[in-house]
Structure 1
Amino acid sequence: MQQSPLVLVIAALFAGMTALLVIGSVVSGSPVAFLAALPLGATAYFMYYHGSGKLLERVYRREARRRRMDSQQRQRGGFGAGPRARGDPRTRAEREARFGGSRNWTRGTSSRYDPRDRAPPPSSGPTRAEARSVLGVDPTAEQATIKRAYRERVKDVHPDRGGDEAEFKAVTAAYERLSD
Structure 2
Amino acid sequence: MRQSPVVLLMAASFAAMTALLAIGAVVSGSPVAFFVAVPLGVTAYFMYYHGSGKLLERLHRREERRQAADQRRRQQRATGQRGGFGAGPRQRRGPRTRGEREARFGSQGRVGFGAHDRYDSRDRAPSTSDGPTRAEARTVLGVDPTADQSSIKQAYRERVKDTHPDRGGDEDEFKRVTAAYERLRAK
Alignment of 1:130-145 (within 5 A): 130-131=106-107
Shift of 1:124: 6.3
User: Are residues 130 and 47 of structure 1, via their aligned partners in 2, closer, same or farther at CA, if it must alter by over 3 Å?
Assistant: same
Between the aligned partners of 1:66 and 1:122, the Cα distance in structure 2 is: 37
User: Are residues 15 and 133 of structure 1, via their aligned partners in 2, closer, same or farther at CA, if it must alter by over 3 Å?
Assistant: closer
User: Are residues 22 and 130 of structure 1, via their aligned partners in 2, closer, same or farther at CA, if it must alter by over 3 Å?
Assistant: same
Q: 1:127 aligns with which of 103, 110, 132?
A: 103
The share of aligned pairs that are identical, in percent, is 53
Alignment of 1:20-99 (within 5 A): 20-74=20-74, 75=76, 76-77=81-82, 82-84=87-89, 88-90=91-93, 94=94
Between the aligned partners of 1:120 and 1:38, the Cα distance in structure 2 is: 63
Between the aligned partners of 1:123 and 1:14, the Cα distance in structure 2 is: 69
Cα RMSD, aligned residues only? 3.1
Corresponding position of 1:116: none
Alignment gaps of 5+ in structure 2: 118-187
Shift of 1:71: 2.5
Between the aligned partners of 1:68 and 1:122, the Cα distance in structure 2 is: 36
Alignment gaps of 5+ in structure 1: 95-118, 140-180
Cα pair 1:73 1:79 within 8 Å, conserved: no
TM-score (norm 2): 0.49
Shift of 1:80: 6.4
What is the aligned residue count? Answer: 110
Between the aligned partners of 1:29 and 1:120, the Cα distance in structure 2 is: 77
The one-letter amino acid of 1:67's match is Q
Shift of 1:6: 0.3
Shift of 1:10: 0.4
Shift of 1:14: 0.3
Between the aligned partners of 2:67 and 2:98, the Cα distance in structure 1 is: 30
User: Are residues 73 and 27 of structure 1, via their aligned partners in 2, closer, same or farther at CA, if it must alter by over 3 Å?
Assistant: same
Between the aligned partners of 1:132 and 1:123, the Cα distance in structure 2 is: 11
After superposing on structure 2, the runs of 4+ consecutive aligned residues of structure 1 that deviate more than 3 Å are: 78-83, 120-125, 132-137
User: Are residues 71 and 123 of structure 1, via their aligned partners in 2, closer, same or farther at CA, if it must alter by over 3 Å?
Assistant: farther
TM-score (norm 1): 0.50
Shift of 1:67: 1.8
Corresponding position of 1:177: none
User: Are residues 133 and 63 of structure 1, via their aligned partners in 2, closer, same or farther at CA, if it must alter by over 3 Å?
Assistant: closer
Cα pair 1:73 1:80 within 8 Å, conserved: no
Corresponding position of 2:14: 14
